[in-house]
Every structure is written in structure tokens, then in C-alpha cells.
């Protein structure tokens, strides 16, 4: 029997066996020809998966927060105005990052489970000259999905740069960076990209790179500065050795494998599968009376789901029972409702069987606490979606 639990949190996620095998390959030198080829190929694959053929990709050792930090620190200068479109915990994080680099920050905060209306964003962009705005594509704390295309259209109208936090979205939610005009799209390796944690990934547009080149002040970040990393990315893409900081060679080899799997599947098909699984999963949990944190299904993410505990259910005991069933879910993250809900990831290399196992665990844990529902109904509902 397997001596491990099924990991169904919103990251890190279950990864493809081929990716795990790549992680276990013999560690090579960061200037070895085979590694240079892996790094260069990964950069080229990022352009294809981000749908940004003219973009500049960066692969850096670090988390998604480092990618957020790099996007801001290379574009913002002290005194610049920045607008944060916030749908949860990670909008607040962007406010803190921007403030660190001297930006004048305005936050448009959505109600819990909702998005910020476009007319509110339009009004704020009209009120002053904003250097950039940030969008959380999927906020992992609420499971709310934002429509970046419409917001970026407003940003372009007001000559404002756009940063899309795609940490819980890229390669799972539709993102057309170049066609939509997004200046930076960033993520971490441990989400829908399908690699263990440890890589900060982002692609910058030509406009973003020009903004960085024409700064009046130095970048106030040493490790994350494009000044230090751009020559490295260019060298590896040209299949030449280079050095600034030692890259995590096994992680980058694993990244190459995962990006290749995604590219072979085609990103359009990958996104469509996430949408199917998410809709089926939402139908399943709602069929037994569970309520989502997002206010409606139209703004519910396709990479994860945030669900309120039913009345009278002890959340700690619920998650403990699920873990004993062999599945790991995540508790709440948003401070205002932290003890009232739980979160499930369904992105990357998951299968229908993984979701059926998760629904079985949920039903079992609810049944133990005498929650009134029709046993087995969520599983039938999920499977009927694909019948």
C-alpha cells in the first residue's frame, strides 16, 4: 500500500511521475552542456505557455513571492503611484511589497468572495497618473477568479503598466499575455506549472523591459534585479554558460520536463481540462449543500476551491478525519474567515480519481460529524458530469 497521503492543497501540488524522476537525476554542473540545454529550452517553453513570443522569461531560485518582488522592484521607483486590485490575502501582500520600494499605494479591496467592479477601477485610474497596477488572477486565500483581460484593457487606456500575479493561475487559467497586453505575468513552480517548490517564474513584456531600462534610479533590490539576471537568461538561451547565482539544476531540469508535458498537451487543452474538473467539482460539493467562498460560480477559480464549513462542523476535526482518510486539504488563510472555511487544490497533474478520492474523504468526514446529506451524492454528481 502507498505510504503517503494524496496532496490536494492549493500548492504544492501532486506532480507528474516524469517530473519526480527528473528531480532525482544525478545533479550536474550549472555550466554543463546538458544543463545549459535544459535551461535554454525551459526559457523558450515559457514563452509558448505564457503565450508571449516577444516576452523576456526569467527563471530564478525562489518562491512566488520572489517573483512578485522582482516584478515590482524592477518597475517601481520611489514616489510612483501604484494601484492594487485586491481580492484577498495576496492583494495585501502586494501592497506591502510596493510600500517597501517607496510607492504611493492605493488598494481597491473587494468584499470577501467578490471582485472589484470595473467601474471602480476605471474611476480610480482616472483620478491620478498610476505607474502600474497589480492583479491577483486567483487569490489562494478566497478562491476568487479575477478577469485580467478587462482590467488590463483599462490599464492600457490610462497608460498604466500591469502586473498579473498568476501564482495560483498560470497554466491552469486562461492567460494570453501578449494578446491581452499584460506587462508581467508571474508564478511559482509549485502550482499549476507542476514542479516542486523553489522556482520564481515570470515573463516581462517589451514595454516592461523598456520601463526598467529607462529608470531614473537604481533598482533597490540586489538579488532580484533584472540588471543581474537578464544577462544570465540571455546567455542560457543562447546555449552559453554564465553565472550570477548557482541555479537549482535539478529543479530546472524538472521544470523543463513539466513545461514540455504542458506544451505537448497544448496550453489551450490544459486550461480546458482545469475548467471541466473545477465545474464538476463545484457541482459535486454544492449538491450536498456546501457553500463556496466566491459569491457565484462565475468568479470561482478553476485551479482551487474555497468552501465554507457547514453549520455545526468542527473544522479541525473535519481536516483531521480527512487526513486519516488519506487526503490532505488546506485550512483557511484569509484572516477574517480563517476558521470558517477550507481549501482544495485541483490543478496540474491531478486525475478524476484524485477528485473522487477527495470527495469520498469529504463525505466521510462530514458523515462522522452527523452532517445531514445523501451519502455518495457528490461522487455521483461529479462522475455524471463526464458521463
| Domain ranges, residue 196 | 17-265
How sure is the predictor about 257, in pLDDT bands with cuts at 50, 70 and 90? very high
CATH of residue 225: 3.40.640.10
Residues 136 and 272 in one domain: no
**pLDDT value of position 4:** 85
**Do both 281 and 229 map to the same domain?**
no
SS3 124: helix
Asked if residue 106 and residue 89 are part of one domain, the reply reads yes
- Res. 3 pLDDT band, cuts 50 70 90: confident
CA end-to-end distance (rounded Å), the chain: 30
Q: Given 204, 239, 265, which residue is the final one in a domain? A: 265
Check: CB of residue 145 under 8 Å from CB of residue 10.
Answer: no
| Residue 49: exposure state from Cβ atoms within 10 A (0-12, 13-18, ≥19) | buried
Quick one: residue 336, left, alpha or beta (phi over 0 = left, psi -120 to 50 = alpha)?
Answer: alpha
158 and 218 assigned to the same domain: yes
Identify the pLDDT of residue 357.
Answer: 97
CATH of the domain at 291: 3.90.1150.10
Taking alpha carbons only, the member of 160, 243, 153, 246 closest to residue 198 is 246
Q: What is the pLDDT of residue 2?
A: 66
Residue with cell 466521510: 364
Same domain (yes/no): 251, 109: yes
Pairing status of strand 104-109 against strand 56-61: unpaired
Answer whether residue 1 shows pLDDT above 70.
Answer: no
If you average pLDDT over every residue of the chain, what do you get? 97
The pLDDT tens digits of the residues spanning 116-161 come to 999 999 999 999 999 999 999 999 999 999 999 999 999 999 999 9
Q: What's the whole-number mean pLDDT along residues 233-245?
A: 97
Closest among 274, 300, 303, 272 to 286, alpha carbons compared:
300
Residues 60 and 193 in one domain: yes
Nearest CA to 91 out of 48, 40, 129, 144 is that of 144
Q: Does 71 map to a domain?
A: yes
pLDDT digits (tens, 9 = 90+) for 306-315: 999 999 999 9
The total number of structural domains that make up the chain: 2
> Does residue 1 sit within a domain?
no
Question: 175 and 308 share a domain?
Answer: no
pTM (global) more than 0.85: yes
Over the stretch 75-128, which tens digit does the pLDDT of each residue have? 999 999 999 999 999 999 999 999 999 999 999 999 999 999 999 999 999 999
Judge if 223 and 289 occupy the same domain: no
> Are the beta carbons of 115 and 144 closer than 8 angstroms?
yes
Same domain flag for 275 and 246:
no
Tell me what pLDDT residue 198 has.
98
Q: How far apart are CA 370 and CA 379, in angstroms?
A: 18
Q: How far apart, in whole angstroms, are the C-alpha atoms of residue 55 and residue 33?
A: 25
Q: Are residues 250 and 366 in the same domain?
A: no
Mean pLDDT of 161-189: 98
pLDDT in tens, 15-51: 999 999 999 999 999 999 999 999 999 999 999 999 9
Q: Does residue 216 sit in the same domain as residue 317?
A: no
Which run of H or E residues covers position 45? helix 33-50
SS3 270: helix
Q: What is the mean pLDDT of the segment spanning 334-360? A: 97
C-alpha distances (whole Å) from 235 to each of 31, 43, 70, 195, 284 are 11, 11, 20, 24, 49
Beta strands in 213-290, from DSSP E residues, in sequence order: none
Per the domain annotation, does 282 fall within a domain? yes
- Coil/strand/helix, residue 59: strand
As a whole number of Å, the CA-based R_g of the chain is: 21
Asked if residue 63 has pLDDT above 80, the reply is yes
Same domain, 244 and 273: no
Instruction: Examine the pLDDT at 14 and tell me if it is beyond 70.
Output: yes
% residues pLDDT > 90 (the chain): 99
Q: Which of 212, 239, 265 is the last residue of a domain?
A: 265
Structure confidence at residue 348 (pLDDT)? 94
Which residue among 205, 239, 265 closes a domain? 265
Amino acid at each position: 500500500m502507498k505510504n503517503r497521503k494524496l496532496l490536494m492543497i492549493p500548492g504544492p501540488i501532486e506532480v507528474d511521475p516524469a517530473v519526480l524522476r527528473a528531480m532525482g537525476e544525478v545533479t550536474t554542473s550549472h555550466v554543463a552542456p546538458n544543463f545549459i540545454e535544459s535551461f535554454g529550452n525551459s526559457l523558450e517553453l515559457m514563452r509558448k505557455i505564457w503565450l508571449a513570443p516577444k516576452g523576456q522569461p526569467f527563471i530564478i531560485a525562489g518562491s512566488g513571492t520572489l517573483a512578485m518582488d522582482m516584478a515590482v522592484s524592477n518597475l517601481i521607483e520611489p514616489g510612483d503611484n501604484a494601484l492594487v486590485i485586491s481580492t484577498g490575502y495576496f492583494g495585501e501582500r502586494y501592497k506591502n511589497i510596493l510600500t517597501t520600494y517607496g510607492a504611493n499605494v492605493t488598494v481597491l479591496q473587494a468584499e470577501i468572495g467578490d471582485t472589484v467592479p470595473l467601474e471602480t477601477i476605471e474611476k480610480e485610474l482616472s483620478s491620478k497618473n498610476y505607474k502600474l497596477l497589480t492583479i491577483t488572477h486567483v487569490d489562494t486565500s478566497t478562491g476568487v477568479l479575477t478577469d485580467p483581460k478587462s482590467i488590463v484593457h483599462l490599464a492600457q487606456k490610462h497608460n498604466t503598466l500591469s502586473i498579473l500575479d498568476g501564482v495560483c493561475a498560470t497554466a491552469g487559467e486562461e492567460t494570453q499575455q501578449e494578446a491581452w497586453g499584460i506587462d508581467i505575468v508571474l508564478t511559482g513552480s509549485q502550482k499549476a506549472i507542476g514542479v516542486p517548490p523553489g522556482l520564481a517564474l515570470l515573463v516581462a513584456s517589451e514595454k516592461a523591459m523598456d520601463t526598467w531600462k529607462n529608470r531614473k534610479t537604481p533598482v533597490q533590490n540586489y538579488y532580484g534585479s533584472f540588471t543581474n539576471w537578464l544577462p544570465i537568461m540571455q546567455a542560457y538561451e543562447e546555449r552559453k554558460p554564465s553565472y550570477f547565482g548557482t541555479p537549482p539544476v535539478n529543479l530546472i531540469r524538472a521544470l523543463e520536463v513539466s513545461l514540455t508535458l504542458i506544451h505537448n498537451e497544448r496550453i489551450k487543452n490544459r486550461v480546458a481540462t482545469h475548467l471541466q474538473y473545477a465545474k464538476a467539482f463545484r457541482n459535486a460539493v454544492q449538491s450536498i449543500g456546501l457553500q463556496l467562498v466566491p459569491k457565484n460560480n462565475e468568479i470561482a477559480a478553476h485551479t482551487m476551491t474555497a468552501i465554507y464549513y457547514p453549520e455545526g462542523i468542527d473544522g479541525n476535526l473535519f481536516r483531521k478525519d480527512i487526513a486519516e482518510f488519506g487526503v490532505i486539504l488546506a485550512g483557511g488563510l484569509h484572516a477574517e474567515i480563517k476558521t470558517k472555511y477550507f481549501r482544495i487544490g485541483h490543478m496540474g497533474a491531478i486525475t478524476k480519481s484524485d477528485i473522487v478520492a477527495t470527495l469520498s474523504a469529504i463525505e466521510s468526514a462530514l458523515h462522522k460529524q452527523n452532517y445531514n446529506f445523501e451519502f455518495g451524492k457528490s461522487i455521483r454528481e461529479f462522475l455524471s458530469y463526464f458521463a
